[in-house]
Amino acid sequence: MRIGVPRESSPSETRVAATPSTVPQLLKLGYDVVVERGAGERADFPDTAYAEAGASFGTSQEVWASDVVLSCNPPTDDELALMSPGATLVSMLSPALHPEVAERYADAGISALSLDAVPRISRAQSLDVLSSMANIAGYRAVIEAAQAYGGMFTGQVTAAGKVPPAQVFVVGAGVAGLAAIGIAGSMGAQVRAFDVRPEVGEQIESMGATFVEVGAVDTTVSSDGYAKEMSADQAELAARMYAEESRNADIVITTAQIRGKAAPILLTAEMIAAMKPGSVIVDMAASTGGNTALTRADEKVVTDNGVTIIGWTDLAGRLPRQASQLFGTNLVNLLKLVTPAKDGQLVLDFDDEVVRSMTVTRKGAVTWPPPPVKVSAAPTPVTTPSAEVAKPAEDPIAAAQRKRTRNLVAAGLGMVIFFVIGGLSPLGILGHWMVLMLAVFVGFYVISNVTHALHTPLMAETNAISGIIMVGALLQVGSDNIAVTILSWVAILVASINVFGGFLVTNRMLAMFRKG
């Protein structure tokens, strides 16, 4: 089969669906690749680079007449008319937002795969274009905000006075939101973030930002990895939080979108009017209506009180080279999935839930919407076998009392054993026995109270202790007492395992921080 890569007809589209580094991977799958001349110019990929990669060139008509067409945007009516019945189109088709497009491709007699319909499951991450583009868009959103803000992100203390850091508030902690949080934080800003999915609070804090919590927000873990609409009570509480956070922020970045629906309005005109003059809003949901009441797609709006609202819908395309590379890599991973024999023959296997979820039409038949994916992003609930009778919940006070009693009994038995052994041991051994017991108690309480973050330096300390044990054992290994000799050999073996194992683990951890 032949893969066609057209030059995007939209004047604002800078990306290309295949790059000189992804073309050889397509060729290895058994396909022929034909590229329209100038397809990669806006992403700084010259035609000579495609020629060196093994691609051939064709006119727009020849490219769209290919067996498989890869594009970033849906085709125009004229471009769709050039496609042959039975061909396959792979693009961002947005069937969840515009389900009527399925009939359009069915009438053309083609198979259509929508890249924005990839299910949120682990095995589909490598071909998830939405995540790839959202990552770049989140990065670019901070750059756009910094340019419009005109101030420093990081705080400074100088001889001329103190400069406070910029206050950044990010709404939504998906891929784009987390990328924005990371970049804003690395630039020195104080970042606060909110998401309706409670499970992402830990991710926000791991990026160094403050997770803004709202009371009464649904604590149910998202079943598909996407955000869902709030109830009326939750929305009211969230609105109060949005008003307060936006009023205190210098920069607000909104990313909230609901799959298959228009973006929710989070910041009203009144909230924006209460923001500080010179503050900036970057609305990353502008393409689906926007998260603010004043957002205009692909426009920059400055309000009467001096707030700048940026509604660019091509944030990822403003970094065209990297965006095209990631987009093309996602497409390569998709074609690997649908070309199992690597013979250049595309196979749409509906037993594969990833392929089924993406397919809008197959050979002219409408297949949208797909059935729900079987794999859920929510944790699997623990079920009790029907043959067993569920035990009633135990009284926590009684459980704590029993645990305390067990600990006291164990401590009492330990003391009895200690005194018995001490009473039967020679006076010289008794001193060593005391040191051993004290070491056991001190070691237990020291190690059990060390935070996990300090386990690596603690391991280095235990290596030093093991070294001391090894030296002592070496001094005793030549003893005339056979029991002492055996014990010395055992001590040498155990201490050696600990020392060398500790060095191996430490070296492996350090390798994670080495470049290359």
Q: Please list the active-site residues.
A: 120, 125, 128, 131, 226
CB atoms within 10 A of CB 228: 13
Under DSSP, the state recorded for 284 is: T
Q: How do strand 280-283 and strand 251-254 relate by DSSP bridges?
A: parallel
Q: Which two tokens stand for residue 335?
A: 């074609």
Does the CA dihedral 282-284-285-288 come out positive or negative?
positive
Instruction: Quickly count: other Cβ atoms within 10 Å of residue 114's Cβ.
Output: 25
Which residues fall within 8 angstroms of residue 47, CB to CB, at 6 or more apart?
35, 37, 38, 40, 57
> Given the DSSP bridges, would you call strands 365-366 and 308-310 parallel, antiparallel or unpaired?
unpaired
Is residue 255 within 8 A of residue 285, CB to CB? The reply is: yes
Q: Give the DSSP letter string of 442-467.
A: HHHHHHHTS-GGGHHHHHHHHHHHHH
Residue 43 burial (10 A CB sphere; 0-12, 13-18, 19+): buried
Tokens of 250: 């210098």
Report the C-alpha gap between 351 and 233 in whole angstroms. 41
Using CA atoms, how far residue 98 sits from 112, 262, 394, in Å, is: 14, 11, 53
CA 31 centroid distance within chain: 32
* Whole-number Å distance between alpha carbons of 482 and 72: 78
Gap between the Cα atoms of 45 and 294, Å rounded = 37
Give the start-end residues of each E strand in 38-187: 56-58, 68-70, 88-91, 111-114, 156-158, 161-163, 167-171
Rounded CA-CA distance 150/145 in Å is 9
Beta bridge pairs of residue 362? 365
5, 16 contact by CB (below 8 A): yes
Cα–Cα distance, 5 to 35 (Å, whole number) = 5
